[in-house]
Amino acid sequence: MKNSSEKKLKIVTIIGARPQFIKAAAVSRLLRDEADEIIMHTGQHYDENLSKVFFDELDIPTPQFNLGVGSGTHGVQTGEMLAKIETVLIDTQPDWVFVYGDTNSTLAGALAAAKLHIKVAHVEAGLRSFNRRMPEEINRILTDHISDTLFCPSEVAVENLANEGITEKVVIVGDVMADSLSYAAEKAEMNSGILESLNLEPGQYYLATVHRAENTDDPLRLENILDALTSLDEKVVFPIHPRTRLAIKNYRYQHYLTASNIELIDPLGYLDMVRLEASARMILTDSGGIQKEAYWLRVPCITLRDETEWVETVQSGWNVLAGGDKEIILEKVLNFEIPENHPELYGDGKAARKIVDCLIQSLLSS
């Protein structure tokens, strides 16, 4: 039996894509004091502005392992991660593996660990879009079913798990992205010069992001979205994901990017992004994380998808599903009414503390 005074838990944190750096940062900051944390970067995202910038801004230690997997088809990418993660886990023999969210890095990490009988903690468990054509939905379902502890952001997530027969070791902690946002909000306000450098007035621009496969891999949908953005009545700041840039080039849609109201920029670091979000008149996005940030920052959000996992934001009236049709998108923007109420959603910004406390309790009781 392990005793806290004899041995610290050894945790391997497996991350690889932009939102995972932001999520893991909050937990890692506390975990480092209580456990031996080894950070493993799969290399799924490798551009400096999709990866390194978040380690610098959010004080995440340099990963002890970078697997350098890079881009590929789902099978190639996930398979290569699986093999490489397994090797590191065999060498490091952790007590727990922590995985975050719903990317291919999440699934590969959970699967490699589960097959080695290493306990898996899934942070952001229980989310469902009920659309199995989304790669993320497959990753979520499989990861949840092989995890030993499931840290959920909401009651809805707990219910989703219960509906699939998962009721043990399910803990509501809230959303770690709220922790990261509150860590960064003030720093962003003080340190980011993005509004000034783009010559933006608060409340007088839209912010747009697009990267979901359902939008980038469907030429008609992507054209509708770009057409809608170029038809808006204010400047649209568009930090473009490399996947979307590539799709636009392949479909020969570059003319939309040079429209007079489009401010096309490279992906941003977190502090600049938070500052831009906070002062936007409205956000148009297909991102999961940005829907929540818009809510927490009380900025109206138009979600460029047919469904969302973050259903509470839609129920609150602060987020509206607009799909990928130009006219519907424009109609939703025009008719958006800011709700009077803003209930607390996804916890109080102390999810990471609760996660680490759960872990320590399991150590004391094992």
* Catalytic sites, residue numbers: 211
Nearer to ligand UD1, 17 or 26 (CB): 17
Neighbour tally for 148: CB within 10 Å: 17
Query: Distance between CA atoms of 26 and 199, rounded to whole angstroms?
Result: 31
Tokens of 130: 């009920």
Binding to ligand UD1 by residue 317, rule CB under 6 A?
A: no
Neighbour tally for 170: CB within 10 Å: 18
Binding partner selected for residue 242 from ligand UD1, ligand UDP, none, CB under the kind-specific 5 to 8 Å limit = ligand UD1
Q: Please report the beta strands in the chain, taking only residues with DSSP state E, as ranges in sequence order.
A: 10-15, 36-41, 65-66, 96-100, 119-123, 149-152, 170-172, 205-209, 235-239, 262-265, 282-285, 301-303, 319-321
Restricting to residues 117-146, which ones interact with ligand UD1 according to CB under 6 A?
135-136
Nearer to ligand UD1, 169 or 245 (CB): 245
Q: Reduced to 3 states, what is the DSSP secondary structure of residue 175?
A: coil
Least separation in angstroms between residue 331's CB and ligand UD1 is 26
| DSSP class per residue in 235-303 | EEEEE--HHHHHHHHHTT-HHHHTSTTEEEEPPPPHHHHHHHHHH-SEEEE--HHHHHHHHHTT--EEE
Which residues have a Cβ under 8 Å from the Cβ of 215 and sit 6 or more positions away? Answer: 221, 222, 225, 244, 286, 304, 305, 324
Binding residue (CB under 6 A) for ligand UD1 from 13, 42, 103, 291: 103
Binding to ligand UDP by residue 228, rule CB under 6 A?
A: no
Binding to ligand UDP by residue 256, rule CB under 6 A?
A: no
Binding residue (CB under 6 A) for ligand UDP from 16, 94, 109, 267: 267
Binding to ligand UDP by residue 288, rule CB under 6 A?
A: yes
Restricting to residues 152-211, which ones interact with ligand UDP according to CB under 6 A?
209, 211
Q: Reduced to 3 states, what is the DSSP secondary structure of residue 119?
A: strand
Tokens of 91: 């060498």
Determine whether 366 is exposed, middle or buried from the number of CB atoms within 10 Å of its CB (0-12, 13-18, 19+).
exposed
Binding to ligand UD1 by residue 45, rule CB under 6 A?
A: yes
Stretch that binds ligand UD1, among 13-21, 52-60, 178-186, 194-202 (CB under 6 A): 13-21
Q: Which residue bears the tokens 């096309």?
A: 264
Neighbour tally for 167: CB within 10 Å: 10
Binding partner selected for residue 135 from ligand UDP, ligand UD1, none, CB under the kind-specific 5 to 8 Å limit = ligand UD1
Binding to ligand UD1 by residue 79, rule CB under 6 A?
A: no
Binding to ligand UD1 by residue 323, rule CB under 6 A?
A: no
Binding partner selected for residue 300 from ligand UD1, ligand UDP, none, CB under the kind-specific 5 to 8 Å limit = none
Instruction: Give the residue among 172, 221, 7 at the shortest CA–CA distance from 93.
Output: 7
Binding to ligand UDP by residue 321, rule CB under 6 A?
A: no
Q: How many residues bind ligand UDP (CB under 6 A)?
A: 15
Restricting to residues 15-74, which ones interact with ligand UDP according to CB under 6 A?
18-19, 22
Neighbour tally for 255: CB within 10 Å: 10
DSSP conformation class of 340? S
Stretch that binds ligand UDP, among 33-41, 105-113, 197-205, 266-274 (CB under 6 A): 266-274
Q: CB of 294 within 8 A of CB of 319?
A: yes
Nearer to ligand UD1, 35 or 44 (CB): 44
Binding to ligand UD1 by residue 235, rule CB under 6 A?
A: no
Binding partner selected for residue 140 from ligand UD1, ligand UDP, none, CB under the kind-specific 5 to 8 Å limit = none
Nearer to ligand UD1, 211 or 275 (CB): 211
Binding to ligand UD1 by residue 18, rule CB under 6 A?
A: yes
Binding partner selected for residue 46 from ligand UD1, ligand UDP, none, CB under the kind-specific 5 to 8 Å limit = ligand UD1
Give the footprint of ligand UD1 on this chain (CB under 6 A).
Answer: 17-19, 44-47, 50, 71, 102-104, 135-136, 211, 242-243, 246
Q: Which residues bind ligand UDP (CB under 6 A)?
A: 18-19, 22, 209, 211, 239, 267-268, 270, 273, 287-290, 293
